[in-house]
Amino acid sequence: MKVEIWFDFVCPFCYLGDAKFEKALSEFEHKDEVELVFRSFRLNMEYKSTVGKDIHQIIAEKYHISYAEAKANNDNIAKAGREVGLNYNFDDMKLGDTAFAHQIMQYAKKYRKDHDLIMRYFKAYFEEGLCIGDQEKLLQIAGDAGLDLTELNRELASGALKAEMLKDEAAAHKLGINGVPHFIFDGKYSISGAQDPKYFLAALKKIYAENNNLN
């Protein structure tokens, strides 16, 4: 079974959704038969207009709500995160362009290190105050994850990784995906959002049964 997951590094529900899906996967008896394919989807916020603003103000302006409402919404996300072992630190989050991070993720796919890298970037951004657009820090983390930085920089310069990122986004557009996280199972079934692990687990079981004529 192939599960494609469109996400962005600055999407708090993507971090939450990954944790919930991983919990479901850990309880799925056929988890070794599930292939995860991560797909790029940038939320396209106007990063230049966010300089000097904290994440609560940015969210308030983006969704036309009050600062207090934005902070309350973020507090609720943080509470949901704690329930699955995540420690969101909204006050220290530093928004930035995620294109560079997505391109490194595309490179990591070749060595099956993409999920590990995604989780490290998520933790760094959502919990440790990393500016997600800091290319030097992103490369450092990639190197720490065991990626060959010489080869990575060569592929970044060639434009091949950007092309892969854009290909994922074009596929999302074609499929009508306009928000993340978005999960597609075997190219047939879609689930949007950070759903309950039981919901993900039920979907995995249902699709596995269909694929193996167990119904």
Report the CATH number at residue 48. Answer: 3.40.30.10
pLDDT score recorded for residue 52? 78
pLDDT score recorded for residue 132? 93
In which domain, by residue range, is 22 found?
Answer: 2-211
Confirm whether pTM is higher than 0.85: yes
Cα separation, 180 vs 215, in Å, equals 31
pLDDT score recorded for residue 46? 63
pLDDT score recorded for residue 212? 86
Q: Fill in the DSSP letter of residue 40.
A: E
> Vertex 59, ends 55 and 60: CA angle to 5°?
115
**Residue matched to tokens 């699955």:** 84
pLDDT score recorded for residue 149? 98
What are the mean pLDDT values of the chain's consecutive 10-residue runs (215 residues total)?
97 97 97 97 76 88 94 97 97 93 97 97 97 96 97 98 97 95 95 97 95 76
Q: What are the structure tokens assigned to 35, written together?
A: 């292939």
- The number of folded domains in the chain is 1
pLDDT score recorded for residue 74? 97
pLDDT score recorded for residue 129? 95
Cα separation, 104 vs 118, in Å, equals 10
| Contact predicate 98/88, CB 8 Å | no
The answer for 116, left when phi > 0, alpha when psi is -120 to 50, beta otherwise, is: alpha
